[in-house]
Structure 1
Amino acid sequence: MADNILDMAVRHLGSAGMNALGSALGLPADKSQGAFSTGVASVLAGMMGKAGSESGLGSLLNMATKSTEMDLSSPGDIFADAGRMTSLQDVGGNILGSLFGNKESGVFNVISSALGLDSTKSGSLLKVAAPVVMSIIGKLVKSKGLNMQGLASLLMGQKDSIKDYVPAGLMNELGVKSLDDFTGPAAEAAPRQTAATPPVERKSGFGKWLWPLLIALAVLWALNMCAKKEKMDDGSGGVVMEQEEVVVDDSAPPPADTTTTTPDVGAETPVGTVVGTDDFASSFRAYLAEAARDPSKEFLLKIMFPTDGSMPTAASLPDVQALIKIMQENPGLSVIIEGHTDSDGDAAANEELSKTRAEAVKKMLADAGVQAVRVTAVGLGAAKPVADNNTEEGKQKNRRIAVKVDKYTQ
């Protein structure tokens, strides 16, 4: 049976939560549940509309992933506390702005007309419904390991459950005739770059020997590690391998290959608000020690994959081993591993590749004894760029594996 998000939202509030919401918004006691259901249905309709494009769907997936940080375990207490209610509505306002854009005021007017409320109350109602819905979707995304296609299917599967609660005029405000017009993003007819593209003639010299050299170094590294491995008991049951520095000559970049339809991930460090990876372990430990942590901050792993492959190379292991050690030292820490690509190639293939690579990192942590429930692997493809995909430098910065804190208790 498909998940019924409207029913889940109503059950989450319960009678106490509904009464508290009605009191906070000045709704009649016998109208609270119906008004809330209308708000939830309207928010879900807005999500279906946003899911009509890949960029919109990627934005929804990102918001849903972050929403697991919200604590909505006692909605009645939140609605009864003016300060917490304001904070909740601030979050809801941001979500509604992303869903409806310049149509937001028109949506508020439709809700007002349907429920007999003024626009302020209808806006407040939607600002409560939005974070509740997003939180439920976030938990479903996390528990089911949904990618963008899975999220689209989840949203489109809500049509039957909300059709009786969508107010008249909302579909027109959203630019469609009915819920059936929401179908999710259309699949690309063909990759933007195909194997039929004539290959670029490769120059002779060091370039053609680079990959064989890297493979040989990886084999030597693995043999050396096997000869020197040492188990270290840290109380968690995990095994940490003694690390040795591996020096790889990376003065020349890998030769370009225009026949690939999906990019390499994670070889470069993004800029902007993203934390650099010159010293992943020190940066991540310092962040955990902060009293107030930015939940959206990313920590990039220095990690490399072969083109179109999902198994990290040997040069990727030091940062992953550092993350393993930090996870073992902090049993109250749960993380999200995000895979990202640039925009070249087929979007669906990029998303799948980014998720596979994130899951490869998760498996490395699990193999070292980190509980699988403490690590969420998410593939976002090209949905969350940090640089301009129109330049090679920007593409390199967008190809990355990021670590975010999901939950942390000391």
Structure 2
Amino acid sequence: MSQIGPIFRSLMRNKVGALLIALQVAVTMTIIVNAIHLINARGDLISRSSGLDEDNQFYVTSVGYATDFDAPYVIDTDLDAIRKLPSVTDAVQINAIPMSNGGWSMGLQTKAGEGENSVPTALYMTDEHGLNTLDVELIAGENFKATEVSYRDRNTRDWPQSVLLTEALATSLFPDLSPTEIVGQTVYIQSNEPLTIIGIMDHLQAPWTGWTTINHAMLVPNKFDSPYSRYLVRAKPGQRDEAIAQVEQFMKQRDVGRMVRETETMTQVRMDSYRGDSALQAILWTIIVILCIITALGIVGLVSFSINRRRRQIGTRRALGAQKSDIMSYFLTENILVTSVGIFVGVAGSIALNMWLVSSFNLPRLSYIYLPIAMLTMWVIGILAVWGPALRAAQISPATATRNV
């Protein structure tokens, strides 16, 4: 503590170097805190549950090209055969894939009529095998019956009478009712067409990962009458690759005038969907590492320059009896003081930058746990950066310092 006074007076005589170090630390901390916050926020998005059995699921698409291609016949017989394969748990035709960033959305409302408030939702067309294939559980109500499932094409305007909703969607529509109480309620699609809620699902994501209502999804008992078809297949645990090979072989060998186009696992769908978020995380980590290195090198350079200017002073202190440990302690303490000033300015800068990001880009608010972690990190960087120059300063002998006057 006896060194604080001399250190402070020395800093007042050499303000520029100290200010540069403090400013560099403040800027680095401001950026690092918010970068780590964004990395974790993106990580939370990437790790969100889709509600699926992703490790055992894949989809395959095909398109019929024959002039006499009978889509309903091919779809029904395809699914019947695929479900009987030894590696398959279940399969279903579906109009959209969760996390694929492409699909159908509609609005549901609790009152009929134009101008009534509606709640947005993703729409999945499946049959009675949809829940088992998706690995989604009912928490209330019942599943579709086979007799309720019908084919529709792009020109169909009518909707089935029954519908399954996710719990999140059901709660948005009927916030004061429990899932059991919501079963049997009527909602309206396209303003005036009634749908009866027959079941509530626990969780299923919409196809669009950036959607604010990503947990709003509904299932309707429809198959799509179209030459283009997409099958979602759920394999038995650990047998996904075998199931892919068996399904592809069956579909390619079947002579019905169609072409198998694409097969993709749900694991790959997730990776593709969040590729931009993963890339952003990698970029931010790279920026953090580069900033830490630049800050450390900046401290090394400025402290080394300061030591070279004070070689006579250091030699004089050594001649008056100062130990090497005293010289080391002096420069470490000086650096901690300067770094601390930069850190506390960085705390204010971190909060201010986050407030601007929240107001301008609707990003999540900063979790203040990052601040003490960043403060400790900057102190460690500062100490490690100054250790080498301080050690060299401690090696200066009184005689060497005198000769360099």
Common topology (TM > 0.5): no
Which TM-score tier does this pair reach, normalised by the shorter chain? under 0.3
TM-score norm. by structure 1 comes to: 0.18
Give the greater-gyration-radius structure (CA): 2
The structure with the largest strand share of the pair is 2
TM-score norm. by structure 2 comes to: 0.19
| Higher RCO (CA-CA < 8 Å; seq separation 6+) | 2
